[in-house]
Amino acid sequence: MLRLGITGGIGSGKTTVCKIFETLHIPIYYADDRAKWLMVNSPALQTGIIQLFGEQAYFADGALNRAHIGSIAFKDPAKLQKLNALVHPAVFVDGENWQQEQLALGAPYTLKEAALIYETGSYKMLDKVIVVTAPQDLRIARVMKRDDLSEQEVKERIARQMPEAEKVAKADFVINNDGQHSLIKQVLAIHQEILELKA
């Protein structure tokens, strides 16, 4: 079974594209959502997070205190790095287990959606990577609207990511989400190609 990854910069349209793959019944692992889930449901991860950020890392009801963690991680990049060093391997193992389940269920291929596929090295465990791209001004406008952020705030987030051109250069497939090209047609073409690769 082929393992695909899908990535792209903030606001490129990864999630939007995944919704189209969902209509084709392709199983999708949303790595960022799953990471958030694991941070409150994996005892090993919780222990590690408390060691790094103290008991205040969690509220009494078990929810993650994002503001507390964020305020420390923002000022202390070493702590942020340590947090990533805890979370990424946990998501990696969880994703591998999920992959095995999908294999057993007979999915033709799987898709892992993650903001960081090249940065974390997780592309090494994937057969093909799709990069979703869109012009920067469009990405900025979409994220400003979706997250109620200022232009400056979105630009800062973009500046912290790997440049989109670099991701596109590494990609096996590129989906152009510029609002002009049909996303459905592009997804169907990739889907067909993957099925043929498998045949």
Contact between 8 and ligand ATP by CB under 6 A: the answer reads: yes
Token pair 């189209």: residue: 20
Q: Which of 3, 4, 6, 14 binds ligand ATP (CB under 6 A)?
A: 14
Q: Which residue has the tokens 């073409």?
A: 189
Cβ density class 123-147: b for 16+ within 10 Å, e for less: beebebbbbbbbeeeebbebbbeee
Q: What is the CA radius of gyration of the chain?
A: 18
For ligand ATP, the closer of residues 12 and 102 by Cβ is 12
177 binds ligand ATP (CB under 6 A): yes
Cβ at position 140, least distance to ligand ATP in Å? 11
By CB under 6 A, residue 120 contacts ligand ATP: no
Contact between 176 and ligand ATP by CB under 6 A: the answer reads no
- If one asks whether residue 5 binds ligand ATP (CB under 6 A), the answer comes out as no
Interaction of residue 122 with ligand ATP, rule CB under 6 A? no
Size of the site for ligand ATP (CB under 6 A): 14
Are 26 and 151 within 8 A, CB to CB? Answer: no
Beta carbon nearer to ligand ATP, 12 or 110: 12
Please report which residue ranges of 54-116 form alpha helices under DSSP H: 66-75, 77-105
